Chain A
Amino acid sequence: MLKYVGKRLIQILILLVIYIAVIFFLLHAMPGGIKAMLTMNPNLTPQAREAILHAFGLDKSLWIQFLTYLKNVFTLNLGISFSFYPTPVWNIIAERLPRTILLFTTATLVSFFIGFSSGKSLAWKRGKASEYVATVIGVITYTVFTPLLIFVFIWFFGAYLGIMPINQFLNPDLWLKTNFTAQTIFLYLLLTISLVGAAMLAAFAVARKVSHKVKTRKIIFYTATAISSAFAVFWWAVSPYGIYGADILWHMVLPVLTVAVVSYAGTMLVMRDSMLETIKEDFITTARAKGLPDKVVRDKHAARTAMLPVITNFVLSMGFVVSGGVITESLFSWPGMGMTLLNATLGKDYPLASGALIFTGIFVLFAHLVVDIIYAFLDPRIRY
């Protein structure tokens, strides 16, 4: 297992270097790149021009420039943002990355869960009217122009019903008298989620070791999950941060809903196709012949087998979700990586834009790695 993770890490490192090379090429070879921008002023004397090029290291050979850039990226030295001068790019990214991670991890999990369970029952209801309706709705939400969907949501929940916040990631009135930053809350939220996740994973592993009975395993798993979530909720309720955490979560509802609605159908359709193939297999007939209840055959025998292609698809959709994040974040004014990227590009803030692009890529690559490891857990045929 460790060997496999190590191998994947090395592969990811290579991919990352290629990715950075592409971005470096973009920065330096494009007509509007960094060199053109620095020496754009026609009043510059040749000496001043030389001095600028020398000061930024642009007079060196391209190869050396690339190596320097690579070194800087890996030491998190991404330069100084133009639009937030003199804040280093890394500080801005470190501030915004947790927000994106929190939003998209939640949204991805929600959409995966909805897609998985709806795809499962769709295949089971093959040929009925409900299958047809659900497929059409799924395809429409899958291809909907995301800004349109967001406008409809904002109009309906924010303006018409007036029950949801329509922009920003927190309520400024509430935060006025605090002496800590939103950053702290985001980090605590992320910590809570990962701790609960780790507790669930540990409970799963322990349950597998302790008992062979499905029922006992289930009891252990669900009790551990309930206890750890109850403990998390209790901690938030008692701590002074509670209300602020709730505020952020409240502002997260609409963005998460948007991402989930847009991306659940991808999972659903793949799950449906994969289930349709699995249902034809002999072991499903056997399970039915044994007289097992329909639900057991569907959930235990068919869905588990059909799940693997869905996870592959999930990996592929990761890049799509992060790309879509630019739209979601900028329309809900959620100051994460996507919005930073867009604003930096519009403001010609090259260091920040390229830094944000690099870290978006790293985020996708690591999500890829995590899903790969989960895959190895789920598929007993994969052994390392």
Chain B
Amino acid sequence: MATKEIEGALESPLTIKMKLAWRSFKENWKIFSESKIGVLGLWIVIIFAIAGFIVYPILAATVWKPTLSGMVSYDPVTGYDFTQMLNPAPPSLHHLLGTDPLGRDVLAQLLYSTPREFALGILAALITVFIGTIIGTVSAYYGGAVDTFFMRLADLVLLFPFIPFLIVLSGMIQIDLFRLALIIGLISGFGGITIVLRSQAMIVKVKPFIESAKVSGASNPYLIVNHIIPNVMPLSFLYMMFNVTGAIFSEAVLSFFGLLNIKMSWGLMIYTADTAGYIVGSNIGHYWWLWLPPGAAITLLCGAFYFIGRGLDEVVNPRLRRR
């Protein structure tokens, strides 16, 4: 009876875990929020997310709804504005950021592309981190030939001229957003992140609690999944942020060269303006709304994820902290 009561009074393991996670989150948040750069990055990402996931659907359903007369359409891909005489038109009340050479609203394109950039960046980063974490921990844990093979492979990937490779690849296969995320994730998953996570896993591997888990009869896969991976997880999370930056940047470069099979993206917006001859020579200053908003959006979002990474760096690497 007594043990039952005590057991009843005790919290379940799940709640304890949740509480612990919440506490460590609060502690880490405190460290993270001390780095101004990380918080700034977080704010930029939040603003972009709100703009892309909330503001755009609302605008598309209300203000930018195609009217019955069909004179003005704000569709980012097939839009046009018959009330406008000349395209590209400079910013006005109807088109806050002007129109592109085909008469499409620049702001609508900008907002429409935002969720896609997020999806690409996060998908690519997730694949990278998934592969990197597993290979890093496995090669640290087992060592030997597995270790040597994956480390040499990582050396090769690090030396790889990544963008030129993607450019040549895009000439051979049709690359859409999903495939691009897959390719970026696969290639960079075997690269630098493996080396970093492996060295972190090497540190964890020799700690006493691994020994005691072994003595209690834990199998190798169990040890890797339940004890080593959770301990390298913060570092993986940090590298995920840097990978989001890399993925968004690669997409922007490739679509800027017109090599991707996609309907609309920030890079493609600059490509459209560039191929129509609006960014050549002295035109560049006159038609600023064609290249500045998408370029600034790419820079800001890439920068924001990088800022978050720098902020997380202070959480993960205690030696960088001020105190």
The answer to the question of A40 belonging to the interface, with a C-beta cut-off of 8 Å to chain B, is: no
Instruction: Kindly list chain A residues whose C-beta atoms are within 8 Å of the C-beta of B171.
Output: 32, 345-346, 348, 350, 353
Asked whether, in the complex, the Cβ of A357 is within 8 Å of the Cβ of B295, the reply is no
Contact B168–A140 (Cβ < 8 Å) = no
Q: Mark B138-166, 1 if CB is under 8 A from A, else 0.
A: 00000000000000000110111111110
Beta-carbon contacts under 8 Å, A106-141 to B: 127, 132, 135-136, 139-140
Nearest-Cβ distance from residue A32 to partner chain B, whole angstroms: 4
Determine the chain B residues whose CB is within 8 A of the CB of A143 once the complex forms.
245, 249, 299, 302-303, 306
- A319 with B162: CB separation less than 8 A: yes
> A38 CB to closest chain B CB, in angstroms?
14
| A30–B169 touching, CB < 8 Å | yes
Stretch at the interface among B55-63, B127-135, B277-285: B277-285
Kindly identify, within residues 282 to 323 of chain B, every residue whose CB is under 8 Å from any CB belonging to chain A.
Answer: 282, 284-285, 291-292, 295-296, 298-299, 302-303, 306-307, 310, 319-320, 322
Q: Please, how many angstroms separate the alpha-carbon atoms of A15 and B158 in the complex?
A: 12
Asked if A198 lies at the interface with its beta carbon under 8 angstroms from chain B, I say no
**Roughly how many angstroms separate A151 CA and B286 CA in the complex, as a whole number?**
12
- Partner-binding segment picked from B20-28, B91-99, B209-217, B251-259: B251-259
- On chain B, the residues within 8 Å of A353 by CB distance are 168, 171
Q: Mark A160-193, 1 if CB is under 8 A from B, else 0.
A: 1000001100000000000000000000000000
0/1 interface trace, chain A 270-289, chain B, CB 8 Å (1 if under): 00010011000000000000
**Quick check: is B37 within 8 A (CB to CB) of the other chain?**
yes
Verify if B167 is at the interface (C-beta below 8 Å from A): yes
Interface membership of B107, Cβ < 8 A: no
* Chain B proximity mask over A341-374: 1 for CB below 8 Å, otherwise 0: 1100110101001101100110011001000000
Supposing A147-B295, A323-B161 touch, asked if A357 and B307 sit within 8 A by C-beta, the answer is no
Is the Cβ of B270 less than 8 Å from the Cβ of A147?
yes
Among B162, B172, B282, the residue within 8 A (CB) of A323 is B162
Q: Which of A44-52, A205-213, A228-236, A324-332 contacts B (4 or more CB under 8 A)?
A: A324-332
A15-B159, A273-B320 in contact; A140/B299 too (CB < 8 A)? Answer: yes
- The CA-CA distance from A221 to B119 in the complex, in Å, is 55
**A316 at interface, CB cutoff 8 A:** yes
Q: B185 an interface residue at 8 Å Cβ cutoff?
A: no
Contact: A322 with B172, CB < 8 Å? no
Alpha-carbon distance A196/B307, docked complex (angstroms): 41
B306 touches A277 (CB 8 A): no
- Residues of A with C-beta under 8 A to B295: 145, 147-148, 151
The answer to whether the Cβ of B192 comes within 8 Å of any Cβ in the partner chain is yes
> If A145-B252, A342-B257, A345-B170 touch, does A361 touch B161 (CB 8 Å cutoff)?
yes
A93 to B221, CA, bound (A): 50
Chain A residues near B303: list those with CB within 8 A: 139-140, 143-144
* Contact B282 A18, beta carbon cutoff 8 Å: no
Answer whether residue A159 sits at the interface, using C-beta atoms and an 8 A cutoff.
yes
* A interface bracket (residues with beta carbon within 8 Å of B): 35 or more
A154 at the interface (CB under 8 A from B): yes
Which residues of A sit under 8 angstroms from B322, Cβ to Cβ? Answer: 127
Name the residue on A nearest B250 (C-beta).
A323
What B residues does A139 contact at CB under 8 A? 37, 303, 306-307, 310
A357 touches B164 (CB 8 A): yes
Task: Count residues of B near A (Cβ-Cβ below 8 Å).
Answer: 49
CB distance from B236 to the nearest CB of A (A): 19
Query: Is B173 among interface residues, defined by CB-CB distance under 8 A?
Result: yes
Q: Decide if A26 is an interface residue (CB 8 Å cutoff).
A: yes
Chain A residues within an 8 Å CB radius of B270: 147
Judge if A240 is at the interface, Cβ distance under 8 Å. Answer: no
Are A144 and B168 in contact, CB atoms less than 8 angstroms apart? no
Q: Are A148 and B164 in contact (CB under 8 A)?
A: no
CB of A364 within 8 A of CB of B161, answer: yes
Cα-based distance from A15 to B155 in the complex (angstroms): 9
Chain B residues with Cβ under 8 A from A166's Cβ? 281
Q: What is the minimal beta-carbon distance from B46 to any residue of chain A, in angstroms? A: 18
B306 and chain A: residue at smallest CB distance: A143
A255 at interface (Cβ–Cβ under 8 A)?
A: no
Q: Which residue of A lies closest to B319 (CB)?
A: A277
A326 to B254, CA, bound (A): 11
B163 touches A159 (CB 8 A): no
Give chain A interface residues in 227-273, CB to chain B under 8 Å: 273
A33: Cβ under 8 A from any B Cβ: yes
Query: How far is A45 from B241 in the complex, measured between Cα atoms in Å?
Result: 54
| CA A276 to CA B164, docked complex, whole Å | 35
For the complex, give the distance between the alpha carbons of A326 and B298 in Å: 18
Q: Does A158 contact B (CB under 8 A)?
A: yes
A357, B165: Cβ atoms closer than 8 Å:
yes
- 23 A-B interface contacts by CB (under 8 A): A19-B156, A23-B168, A26-B168, A30-B172, A31-B172, A32-B171, A139-B303, A145-B252, A147-B270, A148-B298, A154-B284, A159-B282, A277-B319, A316-B158, A322-B164, A323-B162, A327-B256, A341-B164, A345-B259, A346-B171, A350-B171, A356-B164, A364-B161
- 3 closest A-B pairs by beta carbon, nearest first, are A148-B295, A323-B163, A30-B172
> Which A residues fall within an 8 A CB radius of B?
15, 18-19, 23, 26-27, 30-33, 127, 132, 135-136, 139-140, 142-148, 151, 154-155, 158-160, 166-167, 273, 276-277, 316, 318-320, 322-324, 326-327, 330, 338, 341-342, 345-346, 348, 350, 353-354, 356-357, 360-361, 364-365, 368
Chain B interface (Cβ < 8 Å from any Cβ of A): 36-37, 155-156, 158-165, 167-174, 192, 245, 249, 252-253, 256-259, 270, 279, 281-282, 284-285, 291-292, 295-296, 298-299, 302-303, 306-307, 310, 319-320, 322
